[in-house]
Amino acid sequence: MKAFIVDRYGSSADNVRAGEMPEPEVGPHDVLVRIHAAGVNALDLKIRNGEFKLILPYRPPFILGNDVAGVVVRVGPRVRKFKAGDEVYARPDKNRIGTFAEFIAIDETDLALKPKQLTMEEAASIPLVGLTAWQALVEIADVRPGHKVLIHAGSGGVGTFAIQLAKHLGATVATTTSTANVDLVKRLGADVVVDYRNEDFEAVLRDYDVVLNSLDAKMLKKSLTVLKPGGKLISISGPPDPAFARELGKPWILRPVTRVLSHRIRKAARRRHVAYSFLFMRANGTQLGEITALVDSATIEPVMDRVFPFAATKEALAYVQKGRSKGKVVVTVQETHKETS
């Protein structure tokens, strides 16, 4: 099958190439999906660059890609939730990535039925950012009506989804963005918009319950100042904390490292009586099903920037690397009308 492959880690565009790979084997609990569209994420670039090779040791050559929408081709003998012909979407498990390809095998517990009203491209834009927002705001932060939530980078992939989810949960939502994207984030539901080109968010925001950070260490530290005692600072851009090492099942190897990496921010958080958490989202078909319901009811809508053809996957990665996309970037792998299974 055709795929985009990492032969060796590195930040050059040439570290990803188009090539042929064997079709995936289908285990007893697996679902084989013919991929119609795949989301492109900053995570793909970090994996290509080798930023996670100590904790996610993919062995080159491997197929890149972490978001998928497609059609079930066949299922393993123990699969009960899906059948051939079902339209599905997913963020595959972190150990089984590879959506920049024609097929992928996914454990049925990581899969959900695609929202009915969405195109394959729109559906492929959702799983990774949707699950990130869900696990941050619902699982960790337990956002309730009346809470005040700050979401950094509101026009990005995670930001556009998280704003809508936080509003659905009843929160007052603030976000940071550039001048060009103010109208977009307001349309999505942001109550307070801080144009970072003209204002410092820490000078205008106070007494927030939750901050969702996707920016650098400087912004992470500043975010502490807007939280009230008992608040929660959740970062998807690091540094990883010891709880993350436990989640990976490698506490004895990684816990000392993560303790050192996150020492400063955890100490600063304790000083202000707030909690710090690092989130590396995980695959979860049940949660994705909850997200499907929100999309089908028009509570949340996908925000798309550009759609690239499969042959231009490297160009799509380069576009995401610029860091200026509004919402998600997607590649079309297989045209829907060509499906024959």
- The arithmetic mean of pLDDT across residues 92-120, rounded, is 97
Determine which of 54-58, 110-114, 319-323 has the lowest per-residue pLDDT on average.
54-58
Domains and CATH numbers, the chain: 2-126+302-338 (3.90.180.10), 128-278 (3.40.50.720)
- Percentage of the chain lying above the pLDDT 70 cut: 97
**pLDDT at position 251:** 63
| CA 50 to each of CA 24, 56, 82, 159: distance values in angstroms, whole numbers, following the listed order | 23, 9, 34, 25
Instruction: State the Cα–Cα distance between residues 127 and 291, nearest whole angstrom.
Output: 9
The C-alpha atoms of residue 72 and residue 34 are separated, in whole angstroms, by 6
Q: Produce one character per residue of 130-153: b if its CB has 16 or more CB atoms within 10 Å, e if not.
A: bbbbbbbbeebbebeeebbbbbbb
Q: Dig out the tokens for 88 from the structure.
A: 């599905």
- DSSP E strands in 204-280: the ranges are 208-213, 227-235, 275-278
Percentage with pLDDT > 90 across the chain:
88
pLDDT-derived band at 238, boundaries 50, 70, 90 = confident
Name the β-bridge partners of 234: 212, 277
Which one, of 240, 281, 279, 238, lies nearest residue 258 by Cα? Answer: 240
- Residue that the structure tokens 């297989």 belong to: 334
**Torsion sign across C-alpha atoms 129, 135, 140, 141:** positive
pLDDT digits (tens, 9 = 90+) for 322-338: 988 999 999 999 976 44
Model pLDDT for residues 3-44, shown as the tens digit of each residue? 999 999 999 999 999 999 999 999 999 999 999 999 999 999
End-to-end CA, the chain: 16
- Comparing CA positions, the residue from 325, 322, 62 lying closest to residue 181 is 325
Average pLDDT, the chain: 94
As a whole number, mean pLDDT of residues 280-309 equals: 97
Residues forming a β-bridge with 276: 233
How would residue 340 be classed by pLDDT, with cut points 50, 70 and 90? very low
Task: Supply angle C-alpha 243, 248, 252, rounded to 5.
Answer: 75
Q: Is the pLDDT of residue 239 over 90?
A: no
Cα 329 from Cα 326, distance rounded (Å): 8
pLDDT, residue 125, reads 98
Distance of CA 238 to the CA centre of its chain: 14
Q: DSSP letter at 327?
A: S
